[in-house]
Structure formats: C-alpha cells, structure tokens
Amino acid sequence: MDNSFIYFDNNATTPIDDRVLDSMLPYFKENFANANSTHQAGIAANSAVKDARNNVAELINADPTEIIFTSGATESINIALKGLSLQHTNYKKHIITVKTEHKAVVDTCKYLESLGFEIDYLEVNNDGLINLEQLKQIIKKDYTLLVSVMWVNNETGVIQPIQKISTITHQANALFMTDATQAVGKLTTDVLENEIDIMCFSPHKFYGPKGVGALYINKKSKAKILSLQHGGGHEAGLRSGTLNVPAIVGFGEASKCAIKDMTYNEKHISEIRNIIENRLLKINGSFLNGSKSQRLYNTLNICLPNFDANIFIGKYKNIAVSNGSACTSSLIQSSHVLSAMGLDDTQSLGSLRISIGKANKFSDIEKLVQAIEFECKNGKSLL
C-alpha cells in the first residue's frame, strides 16, 4: 500500500503488529515441527503452543485448559452452536439469539432450525441494544438450552450488557455464549466476572494473524459439546487436525501486546474517532447509527444524506471504509443490522462504517472527512 492509502476498516481486520510477525517467523522455517510429534523439535513446538495458550487465557482471565484453538471465530461459533445442540437433541431444543448477530451465528441458527430446534431472535431498540425484559419473557426455565448474544456488534460497535444477560440466562438454568470477536483485545473481557460459559474470538481483530481463533469453554459450566471433527483428538477432542503453530504463536503474542497496549490504544483511537464523528455530524441530515454511550471506542457507523456507500467505496480507492460487515459488504443490499434497528433501505445504503485502529494517524482524518463532505454535497440522492 502506498502512503496515500488510508485504512479505516479495522473491524474487518487489522494489520499485523511487527512484534507478532517477528514471533511467528521462526515457526515457518526453523522451528517448523508438528506440535504433536514426540521428538525434541515437536516438543519445542508444543511448548510454544502451550505458552500461547497461557497468554490467550490471561487476556480473558480463563484457565489455559479452557482454550480450544480453531481456524477463526466463525469455526468456533459453528463448533459451539452445532456441537452443543447436537449433544442435546432429546431435550432443551430452544436457543435465543439476536437479529443483529454476525452471520456466523444467524446462519448457523437457521441451519439448526432446519433440524428441528426452536430459535428465537431478539429484537433490538433503535440504539441497537436488546430489551432485557423481552429476554426474560422469551427464555424458558429448564427448556432453553442457550442464549447467544454478541458482546460488541461488528457494524455499529454497540456493546450489549453482557453481565446482565448472563445473569438472566443462568437464572433460567440455560447456558450463555457470546461472540466476542470485536471485544477481545480492545476491552476488558473477563469471562469469570461476566459468568460466560462459551466465548468465541479471533486475533486478527487486534493486530494478530488471520486463520486462527479460539473457543473458550468454561470447565465449571454444564456446557457439553459434541465433537464435529474427528481424526486424532486434538484440542481436547473438539478440533482434530495439525495445529497451525505459527498462527497460534502469533495469537499468543497479540494477546500479550493487547494487555500491554489496551489503555493507550483506547485513548489514541477514541480521540481520532471523536474528531471524525464531530465533523461528520455537522453535515445537515447525518445521524449516528447505534448507541452513542454504549459503543466500542473505535467504531463509527453514520448515515449520511445524498450518499451511496457502495459508490463511495468504489470511487475512493485510496480510502478503506465499509458499508457493513466484511462478510456481506460485497453484496449490494441493506445491512440486516441496520434494518433491525429501524433504518429503511435508503438510510442503510447511505451509511458508512468507519473503524479506527492504532495505526491510524490524526493526519488521516482530513482526507477521509473531505471526501465524505464532497460526496454529500455533490452526490445524487438515493430517493
């Protein structure tokens, strides 16, 4: 990427931290052994995986034995939802989730519906937050198997009241799961304090490598997950296959860096986000999508007048922003998240997600804001 390119799509993925890359490189060539081999090189690779597991566990205040390495958060979600459900086919066939969840959760739940599971999708208010009273009304004591609520929404940055949700869930003798992909590494995500049974996340959202993720399963909970992949019994029998040692090592290093850098990152990133937000909200007719107060400090989702997000993204090739989730933003359709929050198609298609990372500079702001201001002034209305 040349120096004229500015990247404001950090909720899709982040650039790898130099410290993380340096930690990974030896495991591609010099220390390349299979972590399950019993010779000296294999034992060394296994030790590196063990260290990484400890670092990941420390980041979320878990026990290392509760961390299962996967290929990413989407696989973690699939293992958890399918494996848990298929373990309980004779009873507790009720699952509750939210309309604004990531497609990895929504689509997996739709698949489980086809197998006969009863799925309730909670509504959200205009600010993107769920209604806790609705959850209390829908949850069925001793029949609901699982409540799955995303910690931080990937499109709006809205932060759900996770601890309150887990309390309601456990009062009904159900399990609580959260997709914490946008939260881990950016916020304090203490699994014990928040009474989380199952959590899914991935390091490429906090300056780690792609192609690796984690599934946390609280060993003290009643979460019993059926293995969906067989062939060696790796990762506590839940995810057979040769471990991706370089990526796992990078995951561990990214976790260490997140612990060190979290306070500074929040201060730097929130300052940039707030400047951009204040500038864009001065555009007549613009408004914020999602709660202003219950929101991740790096995310700005804004609806703009006389604006087409898809045209903007295609026109300004030296600016990386998003019109929604990276998993679906290539499709010219309304965001299911914004639609659930009450936006119509015109408003949804006229909304931009701007997600800031630690590599962004204050000098990036003017280029982005001027381009958006120009398009709002000179663009064609979608109406």
Q: Is the dihedral of CA 178, 124, 146, 107 positive or negative?
A: negative
Residue type at 318? Answer: N
Q: Which of 200, 257, 303, 327 is catalytic?
A: 327
Report the C-alpha dihedral over residues 182, 184, 188, 190, rounded to 10 degrees.
Answer: 120
Contact 351, 323 (CB under 8 A): yes
Active site residue 200: no
Q: What is the 3-state secondary structure (H, E, C) of 72-107?
A: CHHHHHHHHHHHHHHCCCCCCCEEEEECCCCHHHHH
* Helix-, strand-, coil-residue percentages of the chain, each rounded to 5: 40, 15, 45
Counting beta carbons within 10 angstroms of the beta carbon of residue 221, is it exposed (0 to 12), middle (13 to 18) or buried (19 or more)?
middle
Q: Which two tokens stand for residue 259?
A: 């612990």
Q: Specify whether the CB–CB gap between 72 and 104 falls below 8 A.
A: no
Which residues are marked as active site? 327
